[in-house]
Protein backbone atom coordinates (compact mmCIF):
# COMPACT_ATOMS: atom_id res chain seq x y z
CA UNK A 1 0.00 0.00 0.00
CA UNK A 2 1.30 3.41 -0.95
CA UNK A 3 -0.23 6.72 0.17
CA UNK A 4 -0.47 9.82 -2.02
CA UNK A 5 -2.08 12.93 -0.56
CA UNK A 6 -5.11 14.36 -2.32
CA UNK A 7 -7.56 16.93 -0.93
CA UNK A 8 -10.81 16.57 -2.89
CA UNK A 9 -11.85 20.07 -1.74
CA UNK A 10 -8.92 21.60 -3.63
CA UNK A 11 -8.62 21.65 -7.43
CA UNK A 12 -4.89 22.41 -7.04
CA UNK A 13 -4.36 19.41 -4.78
CA UNK A 14 -6.23 17.13 -7.19
CA UNK A 15 -4.10 18.23 -10.12
CA UNK A 16 -0.90 17.78 -8.10
CA UNK A 17 -2.01 14.31 -7.06
CA UNK A 18 -2.70 13.29 -10.67
CA UNK A 19 0.74 14.54 -11.70
CA UNK A 20 2.37 12.49 -8.95
CA UNK A 21 0.39 9.41 -9.85
CA UNK A 22 1.12 9.67 -13.58
CA UNK A 23 4.82 10.08 -12.86
CA UNK A 24 4.82 6.55 -11.44
CA UNK A 25 3.67 5.13 -14.81
CA UNK A 26 1.36 2.71 -13.02
CA UNK A 27 -1.78 1.20 -14.51
CA UNK A 28 -5.09 2.17 -12.93
CA UNK A 29 -7.63 -0.64 -12.84
CA UNK A 30 -10.03 0.64 -10.17
CA UNK A 31 -10.91 4.18 -9.11
CA UNK A 32 -13.24 4.55 -6.12
CA UNK A 33 -14.70 8.03 -5.61
CA UNK A 34 -15.60 7.91 -1.94
CA UNK A 35 -14.65 11.19 -0.22
CA UNK A 36 -17.43 13.28 1.21
CA UNK A 37 -18.95 15.58 3.82
CA UNK A 38 -22.54 15.65 5.04
CA UNK A 39 -24.77 18.37 6.47
CA UNK A 40 -21.92 20.81 7.05
CA UNK A 41 -22.75 24.45 7.83
CA UNK A 42 -22.65 26.84 4.90
CA UNK A 43 -19.03 27.27 3.88
CA UNK A 44 -16.83 27.24 0.79
CA UNK A 45 -13.85 25.29 -0.48
CA UNK A 46 -10.62 27.14 -1.27
CA UNK A 47 -11.85 27.46 -4.87
CA UNK A 48 -15.05 29.18 -3.74
CA UNK A 49 -17.44 26.26 -4.25
CA UNK A 50 -20.18 25.36 -1.79
CA UNK A 51 -18.54 22.55 0.19
CA UNK A 52 -21.00 19.72 -0.48
CA UNK A 53 -21.03 20.38 -4.21
CA UNK A 54 -17.33 21.21 -4.42
CA UNK A 55 -15.96 18.28 -2.43
CA UNK A 56 -18.57 15.54 -2.88
CA UNK A 57 -19.11 16.13 -6.58
CA UNK A 58 -16.76 18.54 -8.39
CA UNK A 59 -13.63 17.10 -6.78
CA UNK A 60 -14.52 13.63 -8.04
CA UNK A 61 -15.59 14.99 -11.42
CA UNK A 62 -12.19 16.60 -11.96
CA UNK A 63 -10.20 13.67 -10.53
CA UNK A 64 -11.99 11.15 -12.73
CA UNK A 65 -11.59 13.21 -15.88
CA UNK A 66 -7.87 13.77 -15.28
CA UNK A 67 -7.35 10.02 -14.78
CA UNK A 68 -9.48 8.85 -17.72
CA UNK A 69 -6.58 8.41 -20.14
CA UNK A 70 -4.76 6.17 -17.65
CA UNK A 71 -7.94 4.18 -16.98
CA UNK A 72 -8.55 3.66 -20.71
CA UNK A 73 -4.98 2.49 -21.22
CA UNK A 74 -5.31 0.07 -18.29
CA UNK A 75 -8.57 -1.60 -19.30
CA UNK A 76 -8.79 -4.54 -21.69
CA UNK A 77 -11.63 -6.30 -23.48
CA UNK A 78 -11.69 -9.08 -20.88
CA UNK A 79 -10.84 -6.94 -17.84
CA UNK A 80 -12.34 -3.46 -17.97
CA UNK A 81 -10.98 -0.74 -15.73
CA UNK A 82 -13.68 0.28 -13.26
CA UNK A 83 -14.86 3.60 -11.85
CA UNK A 84 -17.02 3.31 -8.73
CA UNK A 85 -18.65 6.43 -7.35
CA UNK A 86 -20.30 6.40 -3.92
CA UNK A 87 -23.63 8.22 -3.76
CA UNK A 88 -26.46 7.86 -1.26
CA UNK A 89 -30.17 7.10 -1.02
CA UNK A 90 -30.47 10.81 -0.26
CA UNK A 91 -30.19 11.41 -4.01
CA UNK A 92 -33.80 10.22 -4.34
CA UNK A 93 -35.00 13.47 -2.74
CA UNK A 94 -32.33 15.64 -4.34
CA UNK A 95 -33.00 18.45 -6.78
CA UNK A 96 -30.47 19.85 -9.21
CA UNK A 97 -30.55 23.64 -9.43
CA UNK A 98 -28.53 24.31 -12.58
CA UNK A 99 -28.95 28.06 -12.10
CA UNK A 100 -27.78 27.87 -8.49
CA UNK A 101 -25.51 24.87 -8.03
CA UNK A 102 -23.70 26.70 -5.21
CA UNK A 103 -26.92 27.09 -3.16
CA UNK A 104 -26.36 30.84 -2.90
CA UNK A 105 -30.03 31.78 -3.04
CA UNK A 106 -31.17 29.57 -0.20
CA UNK A 107 -28.78 27.29 1.68
CA UNK A 108 -29.99 24.10 3.30
CA UNK A 109 -27.45 21.51 4.50
CA UNK A 110 -29.87 18.71 3.64
CA UNK A 111 -30.68 20.15 0.22
CA UNK A 112 -27.04 20.80 -0.66
CA UNK A 113 -26.00 17.30 0.40
CA UNK A 114 -28.84 15.66 -1.54
CA UNK A 115 -28.00 17.72 -4.63
CA UNK A 116 -24.35 16.66 -4.51
CA UNK A 117 -25.37 12.99 -4.30
CA UNK A 118 -27.83 13.33 -7.18
CA UNK A 119 -25.10 15.02 -9.23
CA UNK A 120 -22.86 11.99 -8.69
CA UNK A 121 -25.51 9.67 -10.15
CA UNK A 122 -26.13 11.95 -13.15
CA UNK A 123 -22.36 12.18 -13.69
CA UNK A 124 -21.92 8.40 -13.61
CA UNK A 125 -24.64 7.79 -16.19
CA UNK A 126 -23.28 10.49 -18.52
CA UNK A 127 -19.74 9.16 -18.10
CA UNK A 128 -20.83 5.63 -18.98
CA UNK A 129 -22.62 6.94 -22.07
CA UNK A 130 -19.44 8.64 -23.25
CA UNK A 131 -17.27 5.62 -22.47
CA UNK A 132 -19.60 3.31 -24.41
CA UNK A 133 -19.81 5.70 -27.36
CA UNK A 134 -16.03 5.69 -27.66
CA UNK A 135 -15.55 1.96 -27.21
CA UNK A 136 -13.44 2.37 -24.09
CA UNK A 137 -12.68 -0.64 -21.90
CA UNK A 138 -13.79 1.25 -18.80
CA UNK A 139 -17.04 0.97 -16.87
CA UNK A 140 -18.62 3.48 -14.49
CA UNK A 141 -21.08 2.48 -11.78
CA UNK A 142 -22.59 4.22 -8.77
CA UNK A 143 -23.01 2.69 -5.31
CA UNK A 144 -25.36 3.30 -2.39
CA UNK A 145 -23.55 2.00 0.73
CA UNK A 146 -26.61 2.28 2.96
CA UNK A 147 -26.71 3.86 6.42
CA UNK A 148 -23.24 3.31 7.86
CA UNK A 149 -21.95 4.06 11.35
CA UNK A 150 -19.12 6.50 10.57
CA UNK A 151 -18.00 10.01 11.51
CA UNK A 152 -19.96 11.37 8.54
CA UNK A 153 -22.79 12.15 10.98
CA UNK A 154 -20.79 14.51 13.18
CA UNK A 155 -22.68 17.58 11.92
CA UNK A 156 -26.20 16.32 12.66
CA UNK A 157 -28.21 17.70 15.62
CA UNK A 158 -27.26 16.40 19.06
CA UNK A 159 -30.63 14.66 19.39
CA UNK A 160 -29.94 12.71 16.21
CA UNK A 161 -26.46 11.89 17.49
CA UNK A 162 -27.97 10.52 20.68
CA UNK A 163 -30.46 8.38 18.79
CA UNK A 164 -27.67 7.17 16.52
CA UNK A 165 -25.52 6.25 19.52
CA UNK A 166 -28.38 4.27 21.03
CA UNK A 167 -29.57 2.48 17.90
CA UNK A 168 -26.49 2.16 15.67
CA UNK A 169 -26.02 -1.49 16.60
CA UNK A 170 -29.52 -2.24 15.33
CA UNK A 171 -30.08 0.02 12.33
CA UNK A 172 -26.64 1.06 11.08
CA UNK A 173 -24.17 -0.94 9.06
CA UNK A 174 -20.60 -1.29 10.27
CA UNK A 175 -17.98 0.36 8.05
CA UNK A 176 -17.03 -3.10 6.80
CA UNK A 177 -20.63 -3.85 5.86
CA UNK A 178 -20.98 -0.42 4.28
CA UNK A 179 -17.95 -1.06 2.08
CA UNK A 180 -19.24 -4.40 0.75
CA UNK A 181 -21.13 -3.06 -2.27
CA UNK A 182 -18.23 -0.82 -3.26
CA UNK A 183 -15.89 -3.82 -3.12
CA UNK A 184 -18.42 -5.85 -5.08
CA UNK A 185 -18.50 -3.17 -7.80
CA UNK A 186 -14.71 -3.03 -7.84
CA UNK A 187 -13.83 -6.72 -8.11
CA UNK A 188 -16.84 -8.96 -8.73
CA UNK A 189 -16.86 -10.92 -12.02
CA UNK A 190 -20.63 -10.49 -12.04
CA UNK A 191 -20.33 -6.84 -13.05
CA UNK A 192 -17.47 -7.27 -15.51
CA UNK A 193 -18.24 -5.14 -18.55
CA UNK A 194 -21.42 -3.73 -16.99
CA UNK A 195 -21.64 0.03 -16.57
CA UNK A 196 -24.22 2.66 -15.80
CA UNK A 197 -25.63 0.66 -12.88
CA UNK A 198 -26.92 1.84 -9.51
CA UNK A 199 -25.91 -0.77 -6.94
CA UNK A 200 -27.31 -1.34 -3.45
CA UNK A 201 -26.61 -4.36 -1.25
CA UNK A 202 -24.60 -5.86 -4.12
CA UNK A 203 -27.60 -5.76 -6.46
CA UNK A 204 -28.57 -3.54 -9.37
CA UNK A 205 -31.51 -1.35 -8.52
CA UNK A 206 -33.30 1.72 -9.86
CA UNK A 207 -32.10 5.19 -9.01
CA UNK A 208 -34.24 8.31 -8.93
CA UNK A 209 -36.21 8.93 -12.14
CA UNK A 210 -34.57 12.34 -12.48
CA UNK A 211 -31.13 10.71 -12.73
CA UNK A 212 -32.08 9.15 -16.08
CA UNK A 213 -32.76 12.54 -17.70
CA UNK A 214 -30.12 12.54 -20.44
CA UNK A 215 -30.50 16.25 -21.16
CA UNK A 216 -29.92 17.04 -17.49
CA UNK A 217 -26.90 14.73 -17.47
CA UNK A 218 -25.47 16.55 -20.48
CA UNK A 219 -26.11 20.02 -19.09
CA UNK A 220 -24.56 19.16 -15.72
CA UNK A 221 -21.49 17.73 -17.46
CA UNK A 222 -21.02 20.85 -19.56
CA UNK A 223 -21.44 23.17 -16.58
CA UNK A 224 -19.08 21.04 -14.47
CA UNK A 225 -16.36 21.33 -17.11
CA UNK A 226 -16.65 25.11 -16.95
CA UNK A 227 -16.51 25.13 -13.17
CA UNK A 228 -13.35 23.01 -12.86
CA UNK A 229 -11.65 24.56 -15.89
CA UNK A 230 -11.36 21.64 -18.29
CA UNK A 231 -12.30 21.47 -21.94
CA UNK A 232 -15.69 20.02 -22.67
CA UNK A 233 -14.25 18.47 -25.81
CA UNK A 234 -11.47 16.83 -23.82
CA UNK A 235 -14.06 15.53 -21.36
CA UNK A 236 -15.99 13.86 -24.17
CA UNK A 237 -13.24 11.26 -24.45
CA UNK A 238 -12.01 11.83 -28.02
Active site residues: 113
Which alpha helices (H) appear in the chain, and where do they start and end? Answer: 11-23, 51, 59-74, 109-133, 158-171, 175-187, 214-228, 232-235
In what order do the strands lie in the sheet containing 138-144?
Answer: 30-33, 81-86, 138-144, 198-200, 203-205
- 163-172 burial by CB neighbour count: b if 16+ within 10 A, else e? eeeeeeeeeb
Spatial distance between the Cα atoms of 56 and 87, rounded to a whole number of angstroms: 9
Rg of the chain taking only CA atoms, in angstroms: 17
**What dihedral angle (degrees, nearest 10) is formed by the CA atoms of 60, 65, 71, 76?**
110
Give the burial class of 37: count Cβ atoms within 10 A of its Cβ; 0-12 exposed, 13-18 middle, 19 or more buried: buried
**What dihedral angle (degrees, nearest 10) is formed by the CA atoms of 69, 75, 76, 79?**
-170
Query: How many CB atoms are located within 10 Å of the residue 212 CB?
Result: 15
Query: How many CB atoms are located within 10 Å of the residue 20 CB?
Result: 12
Amino acid sequence: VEFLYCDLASMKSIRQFVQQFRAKNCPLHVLVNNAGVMLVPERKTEDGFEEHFGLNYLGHFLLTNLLLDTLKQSGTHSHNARIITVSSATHYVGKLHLNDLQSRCSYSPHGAYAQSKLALVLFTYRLQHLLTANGSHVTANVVDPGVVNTELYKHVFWVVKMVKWMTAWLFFKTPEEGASTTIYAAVSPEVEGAGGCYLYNEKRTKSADLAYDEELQRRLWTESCKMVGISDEASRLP
